[in-house]
Amino acid sequence: MAVNLALIEAINLALKSEMKRDGNVVVLGEDIGRNGGVFRATVGLLDEFGGDRVIDTPLAETLVAAMAIGLSTQGLKPVAEIQFSGFMYPCVDQVVNHATRLRNRTRGRLSCPMVIRAPNGGGIHAPEHHSESLETTFAQMPGLRVVAPSNPARAYGLLLAAIRDPDPVIFLEPTRCYRLFKQPVEDDGEALPLDTCFIDREGSDITLVSWGAMMHDTRLAADALAEEGISAEVVDVATLKPLDMDTILTSVAKTGRCVIVQESPRAGGWASEIAANLAEHGLLSLFAPVLRVSGYDTIMPLAKQERVFIPDTERILKEVRKVFEAAPKG
C-alpha cells in the first residue's frame, strides 16, 4: 500500500527495505547512527540493524570514501553518506583513483558496488560549502554513475537500483526538496531503471529538460506555460551519467524546441553537455537555438542570497519566451 512520503522519508524507506532484503548492505558516515544523519535520512537504522551495519565514522570524508571502497571489495554493499555535497571534494581522490578503476585495474575480478549519498544544491539558507551543485564534477569521471532524483517515488526506486548496481554510484539528493512535498510511495522493493530519462509530462511545443531540485521549478514553469496555451514536454534526466540522450532527442524531434535547466554554474555544466549532443545529433529537428537556464559562474552566495543564484520559474519562462520569439508557435 502506498504511503505519502517526503523525499527524505523515501530515502530512509529505501535504505530500510534494501537492508532487510540484502544482509550485505551496510551504511556509514558522520553521525548517521545515533543521530540518524544531519537530515535524518538514516534515523531508526541503528536500532533495527545494529552497529555492525550502521557505522558512525570520524569527521573525515576521505576516510568515509576509502572505507566504502574497502568494504565493497570484500563482498559488502556500502552506502556512504556525506553530510553536504560541498564536503565531497576530499572524496574525489578515492573515487577517481580507486572506486572508478577497480573493474579495469583487476580486469574484471573486482568491482566496486558502493553508493555515496549526499544532499546537493542550495535553498536551505546554509553557510559556505553546504549548498554546492556538484553533479557535473562527478559526471565527468569515467566509470561512475551519477544519479539525481527529483521526487520521493523516484528517490526510492533509484536508490534501490543504485545499491544493487555492481559499480560505484554518486547519489545526489536535492536538499531543498527533502521536505518540500509528499507523494505516494509504495514499499514494494521495485527498483527504477538507471541510465534512463523519465518523461515527467508529455507535450508538443517545447521540451524542458532538468533534474534534481530544478525539476520542481521546471514543473511550475510547464504549468504556467499551459495557461498560455503552450504545451511543454518535461524530461527528468534522473541519471546524468550515463546520459540517456535517446529520450531527449526523441522529445526534441517532436517539439522542435528545447530549454535545459540546471542549478549549477553555467560554464561547463551538464546542460552544456546535453546542448552539445543536441547540436551534434538533433540539429535538424530544432526550430530555434537550445537555451540554458543555470546558476551563475560564482561561488554560491551565503544564506538568503542563495535565491539570487538559484534559477526560478520566472527565469525559466524568460528563456522559453526567447525560444518562441525565434520560432513562434504555429
Contact in structure between 61 and 88 (CB atoms under 8 Å) = yes
Tell me the H-state helices in 262-302: 270-281
- Rg over alpha carbons for the chain, rounded to the nearest Å, is 20
Amino acid at 166: P
Q: What distance in Å separates the CA atoms of residue 22 and residue 315, rounded to the nearest whole number?
A: 44
Location of C-alpha cell 535504505:
15
* C-alpha grid cell, residue 312: 526560478
- Biggest CA–CA distance in the chain, Å, is 63
Give residue 55's identity as a one-letter amino acid code.
I
Residues linked to residue 239 through DSSP beta bridges, in sequence order = 147
User: 317: which 3 cell numbers?
Assistant: 519562462
Question: Does residue 130 have an active-site annotation?
Answer: yes
User: Long-range pairs for 48-51 at CB < 8 Å and ≥24 separation?
Assistant: 48/16, 48/19, 49/19
**From 98, 130, 216, 281, active-site residue:** 130
Three-state SS letters, 137-198: HHHCCCCCEEECCCCHHHHHHHHHHHHHCCCCEEEEEEHHHCCCCEEEECCCCCCCCCCCCE
C-alpha cell at 51: 552497529
Residue 20 CB coordination number (10 Å): 13
Burial of 290 (0-12, 13-18, 19+ CB in 10 A): buried
Find how far residue 174's CA is from the centre of its chain. Answer: 7
Question: Catalytic residue numbers?
Answer: 130
